[in-house]
């Protein structure tokens, strides 16, 4: 069906002839082509909501960088917005919510979103699938419920997310109600993405690392697990929980195919802890791409040696940073593909 389905085979644990690779934030500011498309929208939110533009930047890294998958261009915060909590993306600052979740009433007022509320993403997926024309699979994605809740309570990014954590400590029952509503919305949304053509799903738990182990199990992994149970029977699922070094053994029990790792995790340790029933994804430090080609090639080689060629998808341990050199990024991708 696909000209190149190596990433799907790697996710399912089928034999591959080389290591597949894609990069988090591969559709982004490292590409001049992205900036040109981005300039056609008034602001970030309008950009995300425009299916033609979103589909266009989704395809760019496949053509330009030669990655083994596209990932639909969108934002994890479309779910809070669809639930009734709109946000702004402030240049050089990040997301900002005018209204935040504080009380039972705030949670009651939230709507459980379905794919119809996010039709602009569904349309973008359909367009991207058409333009991809089966060259490579398309990855859909969502934010993990804890990460979305963290923004919905805190109202913006934060080093500590202390207000969102305060909510967990002071109003745990309300937190569970909120997380449940986000989870149901996310399942509806991801099923819509799959119906529109997404071939794999990745869940991003960007703020896993602000929680301790017990809170992580109770307030994050429980809901990730529900999503995996609903989605994994449909398409391969990847869970990427940044800085969740303490939860690798727990993640090994999820109904998911692939576990994403950040660059603080030792590949061999991860394999021992997680076992051989999951594909691992990661985990180069994005800043390594600031180095010279010799160092980049050495990293690619080391990564593939450490993870092995089977049950492995090469990626970074975080998204690409906007000031990285696109030629070096492409060089890294070529190195991995050539090994």
* Residue ranges binding its own copies (CB under 8 A): 157, 159-160, 162, 165-166, 168-170, 209, 211-213, 215, 243, 245-246, 263-266, 285-288, 290-292, 295, 317-318, 321, 323
CA distance 84 to 325: 38
User: For residue 19, what are the contacts with CB-CB under 8 A and spacing of at least 6?
Assistant: 10, 304, 307, 309, 312, 313, 314, 336, 337, 339
**Read out DSSP for 122-139?**
HHHHHHHHHHHTTSS-EE
User: Is 29 a known active-site residue?
Assistant: yes
Query: What does the DSSP 8-state code read for residue 242?
Result: T
Helix (H) or strand (E) holding 44: helix 44-48
User: At residue 113, what are phi and psi to the nearest 5 degrees?
Assistant: -75, 155
* Residue of 68, 75, 117, 262 marked active site: 75
By beta-carbon proximity to its own copies, the closer residue of 80 and 209 is 209
Measured distance between the N- and C-terminal CA atoms of the chain, rounded to whole angstroms? 25
User: What residues does 315 pair with on adjacent strands?
Assistant: 283
Nearer to its own copies, 252 or 291 (CB): 291
Active site residue 25: yes
Nearest Cα neighbor of 208 from 143, 281, 254, 147 is 147
Q: 207-217 burial, b if ≥16 CB within 10 A, otherwise e?
A: bbbbbeeebbe
| Annotated active-site residue in 34, 151, 189, 216 | 151
Nearer to its own copies, 245 or 326 (CB): 245
Closer residue to its own copies, CB minimum distance, 185 or 283: 283
Shortest distance in whole angstroms from residue 202 CB to its own copies: 20
Neighbour order of strands in the sheet with 200-205:
70-71, 138-143, 200-205, 237-241, 258-260, 279-284, 312-316
Residue 97 · residue 86 · CB < 8 Å: yes
Using alpha carbons only, give the angle 316, 322, 324 rounded to the nearest 5 degrees. 65
Query: At its nearest, how many Å lie between its own copies and the CB of residue 213?
Result: 6
**Which one, 16 or 208, has the nearer CB to its own copies?**
208
DSSP 338: H
Nearer to its own copies, 112 or 298 (CB): 298
Give whole-number Cα distances, 337 to 18, 70, 164, 284, 297, in Å: 7, 16, 41, 15, 11
Residue closer to its own copies (CB basis): 212 or 338: 212
CB of 279 to its own copies, least distance (A): 21
* Shortest Å distance, C-beta 84 to its own copies: 26
- Which of 9, 18, 29, 271 is flagged as catalytic? 29
Q: Could you say which of 5, 34, 38, 216 is catalytic?
A: 38
**Residue from 97, 6, 113 nearest 45 by CA:** 97
Half-sphere exposure of 285 (CA within 13 A, CB side): 11
Judge whether 151 counts as a catalytic residue. yes
> At its nearest, how many Å lie between its own copies and the CB of residue 115?
32
Minimum CB–partner distance for residue 204 and its own copies (Å)? 15
Cβ at position 24, least distance to its own copies in Å: 13
Q: Is 199 a catalytic residue?
A: no
Q: Check if 271 is active-site.
A: no
Catalytic residue IDs:
25, 29, 38, 75, 151
């Amino acid at each position: 069906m696909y000209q190149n389905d190596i990433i799907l085979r790697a996710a399912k644990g089928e034999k591959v002839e080389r290591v597949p690779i894609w990069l988090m934030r591969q559709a982004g500011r490292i590409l001049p082509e992205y900036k040109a498309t981005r300039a056609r929208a008034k602001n970030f939110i309008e950009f995300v909501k425009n299916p033609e533009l979103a589909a266009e930047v989704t395809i760019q890294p496949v053509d330009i960088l030669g990655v083994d998958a596209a990932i639909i261009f969108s934002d994890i915060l479309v779910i809070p917005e669809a639930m009734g909590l709109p946000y702004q993306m402030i240049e050089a600052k990040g997301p900002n919510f005018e209204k935040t979740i504080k009380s039972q009433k705030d949670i009651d007022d939230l709507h459980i979103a379905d794919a119809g509320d996010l039709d602009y993403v569904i349309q973008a997926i359909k367009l991207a699938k058409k333009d991809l024309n089966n060259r490579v699979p398309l990855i859909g994605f969502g934010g993990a419920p804890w990460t979305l809740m963290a923004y919905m309570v805190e109202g913006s990014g934060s080093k500590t997310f202390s207000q969102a954590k305060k909510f967990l400590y002071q109003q745990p029952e309300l937190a569970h109600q909120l997380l449940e509503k986000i989870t149901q919305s996310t399942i509806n949304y991801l099923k819509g993405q799959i119906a529109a053509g997404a071939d794999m799903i990745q869940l991003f738990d960007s703020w896993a690392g602000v929680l301790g182990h017990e809170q992580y199990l109770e307030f994050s992994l429980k809901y990730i697990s529900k999503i995996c149970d609903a989605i994994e029977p449909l398409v391969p699922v990847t869970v990427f929980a940044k800085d969740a070094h303490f939860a690798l053994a727990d993640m090994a029990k999820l109904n998911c195919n692939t576990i994403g790792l950040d660059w603080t995790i030792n590949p061999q340790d991860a394999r021992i802890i997680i076992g051989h029933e999951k594909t691992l994804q990661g985990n180069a430090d994005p800043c390594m791409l600031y180095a010279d080609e010799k160092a980049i090639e050495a990293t690619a080689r080391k990564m593939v040696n450490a993870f092995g060629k089977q049950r492995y998808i090469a990626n970074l341990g975080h998204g690409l940073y906007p000031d990285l050199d696109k030629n070096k990024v492409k060089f890294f991708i070529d190195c991995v593909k050539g090994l």
